[in-house]
Chains A and B, each alone.
Chain A
Amino acid sequence: MLDNQSIKDILFAQNDTLEFSEENSAFLNVWVAPEELHSLGLFLRDDPRLRFDYLFCMTGVDWPTEDTLEIVCHLRSIPLGHQMVLRCKTGSRDNPELDTLSDIWPTTHMHEREIYDLFGIRFKGHTNLKRLFLDPSWDGHPLKKDYVDEVNLIVK
């Protein structure tokens, strides 16, 4: 089990463009550039010191003020026990696109469909990227902050 500092050191040695933060959070947060998301994911899973083999939570966040969408992946290593958060911001809010992680952690197969459904982030290389919960003909992505639905969403 590694502490946050050691994880940081290992990752920094691998890729010096990563951003780290532990502020206001229980975990170590690591931001990665979209083009390096997939390779870092592979490194996190396969590196013998890290072995983040268990992705237990993946979600999207909308940041309209920064004009970006973000994915947040909570990772844990079952054999080693340490945890971290992998985060990646998309380039634009209107045409968000990221590499898929579903070949690294198969559990993200469904999570990515959910994020696509609710946030509209498209995952390149995903084998079955369809809406998960909503109807295929649904207009818009409900968890975006600027989504309006006067009929179904009662604003107090």
Chain B
Amino acid sequence: MRTGTLFDPIEQDLHTDEYKINMGPQHPATHGVLRLILTIDGEVIKNVEPDLGYIHRSIEKICERDNYRQIVHLTDRMDYLSSHINNEAVCLLIENALEIEVSDRVKVIRTILDELTRISSHLLWWGVMGMDVGALTTFMYGFREREMINDIFENTCGARLTMNYNVPGGLMWDIYSGFVRDTKAFLKHFKPKLKEYNDLLTDNIIFRKRTEGIGVLSKESAIAYGVTGPTMRGSGVSCDIRKLFPYSAYDRVEFEEIFMQGGDTFDRYLVRMKEMEQSIHIIEQLIDNIPEGETLEKTRAVIKLPKGEFYQRVETARGELGVYVISDGKKSPYRMKFRSPGFSNLSVINEIAVGHKIGDFVAIISTLDLVIPDIDR
């Protein structure tokens, strides 16, 4: 029998081991088919390794086969929650390359739909975020408002998720007659709900304790890891493409870029909540005076981009989406690369999750707001 004194800690004999658990691809918190291999000591996370590719469809390879008109609809299937903005990225790139100037009407309609998309995406994120920390009811409340936006989309372009409403040169059709009315009705309905959300989740003491000071992403590592979007702005770095490189009608509206300084889970949460307010503000400025004009500029039946390289970026609900095209003058791109926001946001996970518990980890991946098809492409 081993004899020990008070100052000879017996812990040395208690051999503990780290073990691995598999979060995903069918885990309720990984929102899709993300697989994370966690190395865990007790409940504390020591290492996270993402395993991707469960929904890799090789969109970039397909783009090398398809013509430019057909590429647009593929982007619906990347970040399916901001499909309208994805479409716009490709259309803007083609329009800039061909030097087509779309009418003001198209620009304004695109901007309104972008912001509706952003609200809808953030609403889904909010519902799911609540669900991840255990408040199951937020999911239904978030979806209730999202449904109204989806109805507007469905009336505008016939689909609720995979819009494909932007085409090179403008819009597939003009907006439907009740668009302005419906959008206003939505805004009127939505504004008081935001306060309700804050009462239900944001101010809740349990939620605060679960998120404040958790998963802190410092300014430096946010930049080094190439993080974008609300995740980056939660750490206090300016990266809003709508402000830095305005496109469509963003140069003529006034809105605030939301920053938080702490970089923790709660700050990332607040950025998105406040972004919804700003989106409302943007839509309100535009909805009453949609200018008249052509909705579709004439383009050739087969679009061929001039030889060269093009880069177009837009701000999706998750951050900067970059479309990089190398064209050799043919009807399909020589190389097409989508720099997706989720990809770089995921790469930071090991940096911010280590040292936290499993419960925190769920909250952290929730505020990174990952959409897996966006990462896998």
Tell me, yes or no, whether B187 is within 8 Å of chain A by CB. no
Tell whether, in the assembled complex, residue A59 and residue B324 are in contact, meaning their CB atoms are under 8 Å apart.
yes
Apart from A29-B309, A106-B225, what are 4 other A-B pairs with CB-CB below 8 Å? A74-B339, A107-B344, A132-B53, A133-B56
The 3 A-B pairs of least Cβ separation, nearest first, read: A24-B308, A107-B226, A133-B53
Tell whether, in the assembled complex, residue B347 and residue A56 are in contact, meaning their CB atoms are under 8 Å apart.
no
User: 18 pairs across A/B with beta carbons < 8 Å?
Assistant: A23-B308, A24-B307, A25-B310, A26-B310, A26-B311, A54-B226, A56-B322, A57-B322, A57-B339, A61-B326, A106-B224, A107-B227, A110-B344, A110-B347, A114-B343, A133-B52, A134-B56, A143-B60
Bound together, the chains give a CA A125 to CA B123 distance in angstroms of: 42
B72-105 CB contacts (< 8 Å) to partner A: none
Binary contact readout A43-70 vs B (1 if CB under 8 angstroms, 0 otherwise):
0000000000111110101100000000
Tell me, yes or no, whether A153 is within 8 Å of chain B by CB. yes
**A78 touching B237 in the complex, CB below 8 Å, given contacts A110-B343, A110-B346:** yes
Q: Provide the residues of chain B in CB contact with A155, threshold 8 Å.
A: 65
Tell me, yes or no, whether A20 is within 8 Å of chain B by CB. no
Tell whether, in the assembled complex, residue B61 and residue A142 are in contact, meaning their CB atoms are under 8 Å apart.
yes
B194-225 CB contacts (< 8 Å) to partner A: 221, 223-225
Q: Which of A74, A106, A131, A156 gathers the greatest number of chain B CB atoms within 10 Å? A: A106
B212-266 CB contacts (< 8 Å) to partner A: 221, 223-228, 237-239
Tell me if A's interface is mostly helix, strand, loop or mixed. Answer: loop
Tell whether, in the assembled complex, residue B223 and residue A24 are in contact, meaning their CB atoms are under 8 Å apart.
no
The count of chain B contact residues (Cβ–Cβ below 8 Å) is 37
Q: How far is the CB of A88 from chain B (nearest CB, A)?
A: 15
Chain B: residues with CB nearer than 8 A to chain A? 52-53, 56, 58, 60-61, 65, 221, 223-228, 237-239, 306-311, 320, 322, 324, 326, 334-335, 337, 339, 343-344, 346-347, 351, 376
Q: Provide the residues of chain A in CB contact with B320, threshold 8 Å.
A: 56
CB nearest neighbor in B for A155 = B65
**A53 touching B224 in the complex, CB below 8 Å, given contacts A61-B326, A78-B237, A143-B60:** yes
Bound together, the chains give a CA A53 to CA B311 distance in angstroms of: 19
Q: Provide the residues of chain B in CB contact with A31, threshold 8 Å.
A: none
Q: How far is the CB of A87 from chain B (nearest CB, A)?
A: 10
Bound together, the chains give a CA A106 to CA B238 distance in angstroms of: 19
Q: Provide the residues of chain A in CB contact with B53, threshold 8 Å.
A: 131-135
Bound together, the chains give a CA A5 to CA B60 distance in angstroms of: 33
Bound together, the chains give a CA A111 to CA B221 distance in angstroms of: 16
Bound together, the chains give a CA A109 to CA B344 distance in angstroms of: 10
